Amino acid sequence: MTNSSLNEAVEVGGASPNDATMATASPRQFLKAFARVGGLMATIVLVVAVFAVASNGLIMVPDNLLGLLRYMSTIAIVGLGLTFVLIVGEIDLSFANLYGLSAMSMAVAWLDWGWPLWLAILLALAIGVAVGAFNAFFTSVVGIPSFIATLGSSTLIFGFNLLISGAQRFAPASPPAGKNVSLGEVSFFRGLSNQHLPFGIPMQVLWMILIAGIFWVVLNRSLFGFRLRAIGGNAVAARFARIPVRRYKFWAFCIAGLAAAVAGLLDFAFIGSIQPDAGQALLFPTFAAVVIGGASLQGGRGSVVGTLLGALLLAVIANGLALLAAGSFAQQMFLGVVTIGAVVLDQVTRSWRRDQ
Amino acid sequence: MTATAAAGVSIQHVVKRYGDTVALAGLSLQVEPGEILGVAGPNGAGKSTLIKVLAGEVRPDSGTISVRGEPWTAELGTHRIAVVHQDPQLFPNLTVAENLLAGREPSRTRRPHLQQADRDMLEETGLLRYADHVLGDLPLALQQRTEIARALVRNADVFLFDEPNSALTEDESEELFTRMHALADSGRMVVLVTHRLPELAAHADRVAVIVDGSCRTILARAELSEERLARELVVGRVAVATDVRAQRQGADVTSLLLENWTHASGAFHDIRLSLTRGEIVAVVGVEGSGGRELVRSVAHFEKASGSREPAGTADEVAFVAADRANSLFDNLSVAENLYIRQSARIRTRGGLLKRREAETLASEARRDFLVKTAALDMPIRSLSGGNQQKVAIASALALDPDLVVLEEPTRGVDVSSKAEIYRLLRAFAKRDRTVLLYCTEDSEVFDVADRAVVISRGRTVGELDCTSFTDAESLAGEIAGLTTGVVRPVARTAGGAR
């Protein structure tokens, strides 16, 4: 383990402090931290092994692994945004529909209204931030619980999505009748996510790594991330310490919105088409990934590495069950069991850590 | 002795520890039928733990309790012992009648209805006309009365009143005390826990003074007076080193002057407060006196109007709340808790934290403020209560503000940490800074303050030069004297239905 991933691991532990003050991590702390991340890693290895046996090694085929990584990257990018919101002590239910809305508005602006590609992408990102700001406004200015505010905005933006799309599917390869799209723009856009790097790794995975790196630095090295954790840990104490609580919550929601928009765009670019209900199936897996990764719904806890591992676990499960053609009922049931199991495991290891 | 013990509540050698903190240290106490037993004591003395143990909310580590000769059981705690809280612990979403019935339903399936006995009880307590009102919409006094009625229909015979009238109007508390006397006269046992000495002096038959988890003395009716109680509360406390106490020095340079200072929602009115550089000023008053709101308004956390010279900005005042639950971050380490308020000063242009500097700030604060911790990266809750409080205060003082405002800086803190905290505050003030405290304990005022501003019912009733007193007892007596005659708190609830 490198030093930085060790620090991150401690972060996942929650009870242990952030690395900003850790000159040296004692072996005991390392052990405690490993109890959490190590457990998650072991679970992933175990699940992969089970599927490898059950699918006659099909899951280990490189092409399959790459597809798995790509699915993981979607959950991870959306999940990282959600992680920030959970850390600051709020909740966001709107990201799934926001993923669809931003990609759809981009598609409509680009393919139907004839906007240049760059402007359409900018619009999608702006919509992500704007919906985040909308959520933050109702949560911290109007003062309604973020659960309600984002539940409402989720449905609201889905309605908006249906309105602008006319409930139609859009694909750059077959623009609406009478519209033309430059082939150069189409191939550039597809390439944002679909282009293959060495070893056939899709570009989207690179985006995930880049975004995770930025989020890691913000959460573990910046003033912003430090205060985000403090506010999530104790909002009253943060107010008395004159930390601008509202402003930080505002930015956390905006970042989550932006992350959802980016994920929506990348998936659209990869898949090559967008339908109005895109993203709705992401709501549960993303929450599961983030919570399995150690983020607390009470706020103050959560980490980048944890969320990435959580996303990986869910991608493995989804992929493995699909390979076995287990049927969607099995996938849903498995997802439910794993989520509850992971949180129970966390409770157990947490009390174990406390006793140490 | 055994005969009366069998008749009343007998508490024998009860011990309760929370981690390192001893809340009850072998407390023994008798409550006789037909009496109102007052309980007085400083914050953290164990009063609320005593109530919780009697009501069965916490289990004592050792010791025995019996009620009318029967040993205490959970069943007994639920049915025979009733607690009337400052904030009633009922179902605010149900009606008064439903509150009376909840948990006492005769049928497993049918919705319960008021029986004749219940109606009689509501009639007797004057609640019948409110029977169908939703409890949460009623004034506090009526909610408390519902709590009493609920206990009476359960045949409770031990009534514990925990700061019952701190938010009632004068008329409402008068009526509450009448009811309390009626309960006692009917042969029940009544325990009244309150910070308000005038009420103890006026209504209790005996008053037990509890200090450091055991009963120091019991004052009989004939000996009861406010001044006597005030003295008892500070006498025999473990003395804090005298080097903390002030010697007035330097020129009087005003650092803050408030005039006609009035709280936005009426907790205090027309206050004049002047603070001088280098001094520690204590605002003294019981809960509900407006003192807490006053110091918070100085720290810009409560809205108030009037003249403030210099107006200043919020960033120039540091504030430490009384409760550590409101001043520390559980998910952060000791070090992070120490430098969190300074974190904006140690960021790079790119918004990153300078980790080396953060570590330096934390270890300096640990050294300067005598924080005892195995390592700076330990979780904050691994420290003792006193050291946690030192961290909370250190994080504010390390900012080096011109004015620091602290609420009850040593509440629930052990004696040696107390002395260290006072020394830290004194050292801070000596550097031409101003310290403003809100205190509810007279001994704290004597130990650390240069000047006491006594507040009662939202108005200042006097100022005392603490340095002119040679012992805490006489200062406590003087403060009690100042508050006499204005014993009633400010009404928090609107008059409304009555």
Shortest distance, CA A233 to any CA of chain B (angstroms): 6
Tally of CB atoms within 10 A around B134: 15
Shortest distance, CA B330 to any CA of chain A (angstroms): 6
> What's residue A36's pLDDT?
66
The 10s digit of each residue's pLDDT in B57-95 is: 888 898 988 888 888 887 777 778 888 887 778 898 999
What domains are there in chain B, each with its CATH number? 2-234 (3.40.50.300), 242-483 (3.40.50.300)
Shortest distance, CA B359 to any CA of chain A (angstroms): 6
Task: Find, among B156, B223, B167, B222, the residue nearest to B191 by Cα.
Answer: B156
B377 closest CB neighbour out of A21, A233, A240: A21
A237 closest CB neighbour out of B329, B343, B359: B329
Subunit contact A17:B344, Cβ cutoff 8 A: no
Residues in A touching B352 (Cβ below 8 Å): 217, 221-223
> What's residue B397's pLDDT?
94
Interface probe with B: pick from A4, A21, A228, most Cβ of B within 10 Å: A21
One-letter amino acid of A94:
S
Residues in B touching A243 (Cβ below 8 Å): 340
A301 closest CB neighbour out of B331, B341, B351: B331
User: Could you identify the residue written with the tokens 């406590």?
Assistant: B476
The 10s digit of each residue's pLDDT in B246-300 is: 555 556 788 899 999 999 988 999 999 999 998 999 999 887 789 999 999 999 9
* Range from A73-87, A286-300, B471-485 that averages highest in pLDDT: A73-87
Tally of CB atoms within 10 A around B131: 18
B335 closest CB neighbour out of A21, A238, A240: A21
Residues in A touching B377 (Cβ below 8 Å): 16-17, 21-22, 29
Mean pLDDT, rounded, of chain A: 87
Shortest distance, CA A87 to any CA of chain B (angstroms): 11
Most distant pair of Cα atoms in chain B: their distance: 78
Nearest CA in chain B to A14: B331
* Range from A127-141, B5-19, B153-167, B342-356 that averages highest in pLDDT: A127-141
Interface probe with A: pick from B315, B317, B331, B373, most Cβ of A within 10 Å: B331
Size of interface A-B (CB pairs under 8 A): 102
> What's residue B497's pLDDT?
36
What CATH fold (topology level) applies to the domain A37-355?
A: ABC transporter involved in vitamin B12 uptake, BtuC (1.10.3470)
Give the C-alpha separation, B442 to A47, whole Å: 64
Q: Are A299 and A138 in contact (CB under 8 A)?
A: no
B351 closest CB neighbour out of A223, A240, A301: A223
Q: Are B265 and B285 in contact (CB under 8 A)?
A: no
User: DSSP letters along B150-211, please?
Assistant: HHHHTT--EEEEESTTTTS-HHHHHHHHHHHHHHHHTT-EEEEE-S-HHHHHHH-SEEEEEE
Q: Which of A67-71, B106-110, B470-474 has the lowest mean pLDDT?
A: B106-110
Q: Where are the beta strands (DSSP E) in B250-337?
A: 254-263, 271-276, 280-284, 304-309, 317-320
Nearest CA in chain B to A236: B326
Judged by DSSP in three states, A301 sits in: coil
- Higher local confidence (pLDDT), A131 or A62: A131
Q: Which of A178-182, B104-108, B202-206 has the lowest mean pLDDT?
A: B104-108
Subunit contact B329:A230, Cβ cutoff 8 A: yes
User: DSSP letters along B41-58, please?
Assistant: --TTSSHHHHHHHHHTSS
Residues of A with a Cβ under 8 Å from any B Cβ are 14-18, 20-23, 29, 217, 221-224, 226-227, 229-230, 232-234, 236-243, 300-301
Q: Is pLDDT of A22 > 60?
A: no
Q: Is pLDDT of B486 > 50?
A: no
Q: b vs e for B377-397, b when ≥16 Cβ sit within 10 Å of the residue's Cβ?
A: bbbbeebbbbbbbbbbbbbbb
Q: Is pLDDT of A44 > 80?
A: yes
Angle between helices A3-13 and A203-221 (to 10 degrees): 70
A242 closest CB neighbour out of B315, B321, B336: B315
B319: which 2 tokens?
């504030």
Shortest distance, CA B118 to any CA of chain A (angstroms): 39
Give the pLDDT band (50/70/90) at residue A20.
very low
Give the C-alpha separation, A309 to A313, whole Å: 6
A21 closest CB neighbour out of B319, B321, B359: B359
Task: Find, among A326, A224, A265, the residue nearest to B344 by Cα.
Answer: A224
Subunit contact B336:A230, Cβ cutoff 8 A: yes
Q: Are A84 and A306 in contact (CB under 8 A)?
A: no
- For chain A, the structural domain boundaries read 37-355
User: Could you identify the residue written with the tokens 């498995």?
Assistant: A334
One-letter amino acid of B32:
E
Subunit contact B328:A234, Cβ cutoff 8 A: yes
Subunit contact A237:B376, Cβ cutoff 8 A: no
Q: Is pLDDT of A259 > 80?
A: yes
Angle between helices A183-194 and A203-221 (to 10 degrees): 60
Q: Are A231 and A224 in contact (CB under 8 A)?
A: no
> If residue A305 lies in a helix (H) or strand (E), which one and from where to where?
helix A304-323
Interface probe with B: pick from A24, A229, A242, most Cβ of B within 10 Å: A242
Nearest CA in chain B to A23: B359
Shortest distance, CA A286 to any CA of chain B (angstroms): 24
> What's residue B491's pLDDT?
37
Nearest CA in chain A to B356: A21
Angle between helices B226-234 and B472-483 (to 10 degrees): 150
Residues in B touching A301 (Cβ below 8 Å): 331
Subunit contact B355:A21, Cβ cutoff 8 A: yes
Task: Find, among B437, B399, B406, B35, the residue nearest to B206 by Cα.
Answer: B35
> What's residue B487's pLDDT?
42
Residues in A touching B389 (Cβ below 8 Å): none
Subunit contact B351:A301, Cβ cutoff 8 A: no
- Average pLDDT score over residue span A185-204: 88
Q: Which of A9-18, A158-167, B127-136, B236-245 has the lowest mean pLDDT?
A: A9-18
> What's residue A326's pLDDT?
80
> What's residue B221's pLDDT?
87
Angle between helices B140-153 and B116-124 (to 10 degrees): 140
- Average pLDDT score over residue span A21-45: 66
Task: Find, among B453, B97, B62, the residue nearest to B274 by Cα.
Answer: B453
Q: Is pLDDT of B232 > 50?
A: yes
The 10s digit of each residue's pLDDT in B409-419 is: 988 777 778 88
Subunit contact A242:B331, Cβ cutoff 8 A: no
Shortest distance, CA A229 to any CA of chain B (angstroms): 8
> What's residue B133's pLDDT?
92
Q: Which of A176-180, A183-187, B159-163 has the lowest mean pLDDT?
A: A176-180
Q: Are B98 and B91 in contact (CB under 8 A)?
A: yes
- In this prediction, what percent of chain B has a pLDDT beyond 70? 92
- Average pLDDT score over residue span B210-223: 87
- Average pLDDT score over residue span A205-230: 95
A18 closest CB neighbour out of B301, B336, B359: B336
User: Could you identify the residue written with the tokens 């929370």?
Assistant: B18
Residues in A touching B326 (Cβ below 8 Å): 234, 236-237, 240
CA angle B151, B152, B157 (to 5 degrees): 85
Subunit contact B327:A240, Cβ cutoff 8 A: yes
Give the C-alpha separation, B434 to B436, whole Å: 7
> What's residue A350's pLDDT?
67
Q: Are B337 and A220 in contact (CB under 8 A)?
A: no
Judged by DSSP in three states, B462 sits in: strand
Residues in A touching B314 (Cβ below 8 Å): 242
Q: Is pLDDT of B493 > 60?
A: no
Subunit contact B330:A17, Cβ cutoff 8 A: no
Region of residue A134 (left: phi > 0; alpha: psi -120 to 50; beta: else): alpha
Dihedral over alpha carbons A222, A226, A229, A233 (to 10 degrees): -170
Subunit contact A241:B340, Cβ cutoff 8 A: yes
Q: Which of A27-31, A194-198, B259-263 has the lowest mean pLDDT?
A: A27-31
Subunit contact A21:B320, Cβ cutoff 8 A: no
Subunit contact B333:A21, Cβ cutoff 8 A: yes
Q: Is pLDDT of A228 > 90?
A: yes
- Average pLDDT score over residue span B383-398: 91
Residues in A touching B358 (Cβ below 8 Å): 20-21
